[in-house]
A and B are shown apart, each in its own frame.
Chain A
């Protein structure tokens, strides 16, 4: 497959639409010959990231880049940022509101799930400057 890039907007507190971009990404990847196990990992990371943006981050976007050797997912938001990234990465830590918990989120597993499923995971965030996540998925051996 030739190189391909696409971005989708994510809206703050959109309980209904959040996650839709990751389903579009999954459907897009299913039309290729990429290993279904890799497609699932990309979709899980995209979905967790999308929910995080809608839940905590504010407005943002999720972008996919499909290259010859790797898939890259970038998730950026203009939200309040994360004060303590190490704490946010800890399994079980969550600052989700009651409304999002009613939707089945707030287990404190979003960022750990993303870290576990991506071959490369990078998060940059500081208070007041949003959160920026880049994840890479190798299509050929290890990156």
Chain B
């Protein structure tokens, strides 16, 4: 457990120290959300109706930008080899690194979402739901992303392939995240049923994704 926490702390510190990843993700999120109303025109009703979808899709894309870095830098400078010989099994290494990605990239994006929601005229009663569903759903984004990152490890320009691999896997999270929000904004569907499925998706991903990612890591270490 001690080593696990150390590894998470190291990855978070590295991401913050290298700086680029967090600000790029936040900047991308801002630009995508800000550009959409310009394209769609100033129809406030339309904007508030599509706000949940736009906020979620843009968040997915912004998080995807940095998913590749989860393992890539460590493979390139050899630290992955040393980590692999450490006390943690590769499954826990993958979990720690995905968790660190969520803390350093996922959480800042979640915190930015309500601010960007102002641009889209999101109904006032939906702000807390936005935060809640995103905090619940974003771990799944980081953990699923870690599988894609491990699979495309060592490929030149693997980023695009990574997006192709991972984006379809994000669909359930997207669907239930948005439907939980729409249940509150427009009704009459139940918020709880969608939200609980979102929770289940995240929990299942957190358990299963590290196993898949570790299998892929073993291949790229060989």
Instruction: Please indicate whether A and B come from the same complex rather than being unrelated chains.
Output: no
